[in-house]
Amino acid sequence: MANEGTHNVEDLHLQNLTKKFGEVAAVDDLTLTIPAGSFFALLGASGCGKTTTLRMVAGLEEPTSGSIHIGQNDITNLRAFQRPVNTVFQSYALFPHLDIFENVAFGLRRRKVKNIDAAVNSMLELVELAPMARRKPTQLSGGQQQRVAVARALINQPDVLLLDEPLGALDLKLRRQMQIELKRIQTEVGTTFVHVTHDQEEAMTMADTVAVMNAGRIEQMGHPADIYELPKTVFVANFLGQANLFAGVRTGTSSDSIEVVANGINFRVLSARNSAPSDEVIVGIRPEKMTILDLHDKETIPSGHNMLEGRVIDVSYAGVSTQYLVETTWGQNVTVFEQNVLVGDRSSVGDPVVLHWSPDHTFGLAGGETVLADTAQILAVGA
Amino acid sequence: MRWIKSKLLSVIAVLVLIYLFIPIAVVATLSFNKPEGKYNTSWNQFSLDAWTNICGVPGVCDSFMISVRIGIISTIFATILGTMIAFALVRYRFRGRATTNLLIFLPMTTPEVVMGASLLALFLNLRFPLGETTIIIAHIMFTISFVVVTVKARLQGMDPRLEEAARDLYASPRATFRYVTFPLVAPGIAGAALLGFSLSFDDFIISFFNAGTVVTFPIYIWGAAQRGIPVQVNALATLVFVVALLIVLTSQFVSYRKRKALEAGMSSDPAIAGANVKGLEAAMPRS
């Protein structure tokens, strides 16, 4: 019965979903549609409400208000064992007293499905664990246990598969492998995967759609590349990768761009890449989009590029790239990544340099000094 | 000097073990004795009389069976009630939970003489006839505490996510209990039952107050001690010790076999042996 391919998958809708613990809203009026068959990642720091959201979908936590639908089907008031949703738990929660076969068969047995041997065996084959069928969970390695947890959930052909930090307990190398593995399984079975993680790299590699959560709300949602290239809030810019941010004030508007002055320097931001509603604009740029030049070569910078001058205070060579820390004239530290394509001739500590980048990569965010400070605090607590 | 220093711990450990086992060795040895007078205190002559005719002295086997029966009945009740109390205390938040938690410890800390005497006063006031029933009631009362403490520890050590996983995998609350919770807590319950039985079997003070005319095994020995303890008592005591020892050894052997099987399973599959070692190490502290 596994993988017939005729399985009807439907969208998952969360409508005004709220969960309060006492006075604190862990999930705050969340409305979200997760398209059928997608690999969806909920990304956020610990305590941002992502796990609570997942547990409400699983039926392990009762929403304070709001509703959960799969297609037209309201599952808000169904209990966990009545929902067509299965979970891969953090640290797997495999039943230690049952062998691998029985762990995987558990859901089918509870639903009184007959003749399950073939289904269980083919599921074990999908996760490449057929020879381990008669072992106990403790006899398996972390990666193997992880795959059992996936198999145990998937065999029930859920409408939605929930993954709660599924790779958190694995070491880096195994995590990379499992990322590919999970993506392969998802493509193969076509089930909607909702994946909760605090690891931005994990979310970006696996998911088609990433939703960045902060303080019980979704800050931004979209394709990983789109969010990364054009973050809409300071939190997203900082949480998903790194960003250099300069708080400034809009001083002029032209046909396709705006002028922002920050710390006495003029920056150009394309109107299409500016999400600030007022004149208070934070100018942002990703470290790898900047080019670092010796101050003498300032004339070679293409016209129209944004630029700023500074002094190198730290250089760390990391093989693929070199990371520079540059102190600007007003004392802010700016991070720059440079691909190591050239041999030799790197800037060294103390060198006066000029950084430049294209407005095509520059983004404008809402806020001012206070937003920057607040976000720095949130990120520091979350880390 | 250094030799002494390095071996000191082992020497002390051996001495403590000898100290612990000398009384048992004496009891067992004297069960093969043919005492000269009526007191079985010094070695006279080897004999199997006590073992071949273990019920030879009037009352010995009767009292032994009474104690076994009382032990089994009170263990069954105490285990069921105690397990339910443990579940309630761990799983539910209710008014009086903290008080219950505290009160459950009281019987363990109350001196047995006090408990025995006050129970006797209670039964007399209620005009409840003393006998096996009153002993059983008393035994259930004080063994419950031990059952609760043992089962509670096991329950608290259980990962709550296992039950959530069961619920997530279509198990109703009843099925979750039957297929996940109970099998995982069962070793704790079994341990609690064994502990309860040995506490009941061996109790003298509380039983003595509430026995009426019933003679349990400890009461029999106490009575016999005045006139000289028959060798059969040594034989029965040794028998109990051997049975207990067998239970311990069997459980040790089973877990040893399991561990061996685990290691064998690993080495038979060299491709994953390395990975397995890691999994095992992670699993060991929990098991």
Domain count, chain B: 2
Shared domain check, B285 and B156: no
Give CA separation, A173 vs A43, A169, A170, B95, in Å: 21, 12, 8, 50
Can you give the residue ranges of every domain in chain A?
12-228, 230-382
Residues B158, B215, single domain; the answer is yes
Share of chain A above pLDDT 90, in %: 58
The structure tokens listed for A160 are 């939605």
Query: Do B199 and B79 have their domain in common?
Result: yes
A59 contacts chain B (CB < 8 A): yes
Query: With contacts defined as CB-CB under 8 Å, which chain B residues touch A106?
Result: 166, 169, 171, 179
Return phi, psi of residue A177, to 5°.
-60, -45
A230 near B CB under 8 A: no
Residue B189: CATH number of its domain: 1.10.3720.10
**Cβ contact B159–A93 (<8 Å):** yes
CB pairs under 8 A between A and B: 97
To which residue do tokens 């054009």 refer? A230
Nearest CA in chain A to B163: A93
Q: How far is B175 from chain A (nearest CA, A)?
A: 8
Contact list in A for residue B164 (CB cut-off 8 A) is 60, 80, 87, 89, 93
Residue A49 is given by DSSP the state S
What is the tens place of the pLDDT at every residue in B219-259?
Answer: 998 988 888 888 888 898 899 889 888 988 998 888 888 77
Which residues of chain B neighbour A79 with C-beta distances below 8 Å? 167
Residue A77 DSSP one-character state: T
The bridge status of strand A217-222 relative to strand A244-253 is unpaired
If asked whether residues B27 and B116 sit together in one domain, one would say no
Say yes or no: A152 contacts chain B, CB-CB below 8 A.
yes
What pLDDT score was predicted for residue A171?
Answer: 82
Burial (CB count within 10 angstroms: exposed 0-12, middle 13-18, buried 19+), residue A201:
middle
**Separation between Cα atoms, residue B170 and residue B168, nearest integer Å:** 6
A12-228 and A230-382 have identical folds: no
- pLDDT given for residue A379 in this prediction: 63
Distance CA B14, CA A376 (A): 62
Best A97, A104, A108 residue to mutate vs chain B (most B CBs within 10 Å): A97
Q: Searching chain A, which residue's CA lies closest to the CA of residue B159?
A: A93
CATH code: domain A12-228 is: 3.40.50.300
Q: Does A131 touch chain B (CB under 8 A)?
A: yes
Is some CB atom of chain B closer than 8 A to the CB atom of A275?
no
**Ramachandran quadrant class, A50 (left: phi over 0; alpha: psi -120 to 50; beta: rest):** alpha
- What's the confidence (pLDDT) of residue B19? 94
Q: What's the DSSP call for residue A97?
A: T
Q: H or E segment at A190?
A: none
Is A173 near chain B, with CB under 8 Å?
no
Report the complex ipTM: 0.80
Q: Measured between CB atoms, does B137 come within 8 Å of chain A?
A: no
Retrieve residue B104's tokens. 């459950």
Within an 8 Å CB–CB cutoff, is residue B190 touching chain A?
A: no
CB contact under 8 A, B276 and A58: no
Q: Which of A178, A96, A92, A169 is nearest to A135 (CA)?
A: A96
For residues B11 and B48, state if they share a domain: yes
Of B206, B229, B252, which closes a domain? B229
**What's the pLDDT tens digit per position in A27-86?**
999 999 999 999 999 999 888 899 999 999 999 999 999 999 999 999 999 999 999 999
Q: Which of B170, B255, B286, B287 to mutate: most A Cβ within 10 Å?
A: B170
Closest CA relative to residue B169, chosen from A253, A172, A103, A288: A103
Indicate whether B34 and B108 sit together in one domain.
no
Closest Cβ–Cβ partner in A58, A81, A138 for B171: A81
Do the chains contact at B168 and A131, CB–CB below 8 Å? no
Chain A residues within 8 A of B162 when measuring between CB atoms? 93, 95-96
Give first-to-last CA distance, chain A, whole Å. 44
Of A223, A207, A198, A142, nearest to A175 (Cα)?
Answer: A142
Query: In this model, does residue B75 exceed pLDDT 60?
Result: yes
Q: B280 and A143 in contact by Cβ < 8 A?
A: no
pLDDT digits (tens, 9 = 90+) for B190-200: 999 999 999 99
pLDDT of B262 reads 64
Set of chain B residues whose Cβ sits within 8 Å of the Cβ of A85:
168
Q: Which residues of B touch A153 (CB under 8 A)?
A: 168-169
On whether both B53 and B73 belong to a single domain, the answer is: no
Tokens at residue B15, please? 């001495």
Type of residue numbered B228:
G
- Does B280 lie in the same domain as B218? no
Task: Determine whether B185 is exposed, middle or buried from the number of CB atoms within 10 Å of its CB (0-12, 13-18, 19+).
Answer: buried
Same domain, B115 and B187: yes
CA distance B179 to chain A (A): 9
C-alpha A270/C-alpha A255 separation (Å) is: 9
Give the span between the Cα atoms of B128 and B240, in whole angstroms.
Answer: 32
Give the integer Cα–Cα distance in Å for A134 and A333.
Answer: 57
Q: Which fold has domain A230-382?
A: OB fold (Dihydrolipoamide Acetyltransferase, E2P) (2.40.50)
- The verdict on B132 and B244 lying in the same domain is no
A294-331: pLDDT as tens digits: 888 888 898 889 999 999 999 998 888 899 999 998 88
Q: Return the residue of A nearest to B263 by Cα.
A: A139
Report CB contact under 8 Å: B168, A85. Answer: yes
Asked if B179's CB is within 8 angstroms of A60's CB, the reply is no
- Coil/strand/helix, residue A123: helix
Coil/strand/helix, residue A52: helix
Say if residue B238 is in the same domain as residue B250: yes
Nearest CA in chain B to A145: B279
HSE, side-chain direction, 13 A CA sphere, residue A212: 24
CB A59 within 8 A of CB A85: yes
- How far is A138 from chain B, CA to nearest CA, in Å? 6
Only one residue has tokens 């009807």, namely A8
Task: Please judge whether B279 and A140 are an interchain contact, meaning their C-beta atoms are less than 8 angstroms apart.
Answer: yes
pLDDT mean by block of 10 residues, chain A; 383 residues = 53 94 90 93 90 94 94 92 93 93 95 92 89 91 90 92 87 85 88 92 91 91 94 91 91 90 92 90 94 88 91 90 92 91 78 93 82 66 50
The reported pLDDT for the residue numbered B162 is: 94
User: Which H or E run contains A222?
Assistant: strand A217-222
| Domain extent at residue B283 | 1-57+231-287
Extended strands (E) in B94-222: none
Q: How high is the pLDDT of residue A381?
A: 57
Based on the fold, state whether residues B125 and B208 are members of the same structural domain: yes
| B168 contact A CB<8A | yes
As a whole number, mean pLDDT of residues B81-100 equals 91
* Res B265: pLDDT: 54
Residues in chain A: 383
What is the phi-psi region of residue A345: left when phi exceeds 0, alpha when psi lies from -120 to 50, beta otherwise? left
All residues of chain B having their beta carbon less than 8 Å from the beta carbon of residue A138 are: 262, 279-280, 283, 286-287
Q: What is the pLDDT of residue B281?
A: 39
How far from A245 is each of A238, A264, A329, CA to CA, in Å? Answer: 9, 14, 15
Which pLDDT band, with edges at 50, 70 and 90, does B145 fall under? very high
Does A106 contact B179 at a Cβ distance shorter than 8 Å? yes
Q: Which of A216, A217, A210 is nearest to A194 (CA)?
A: A210
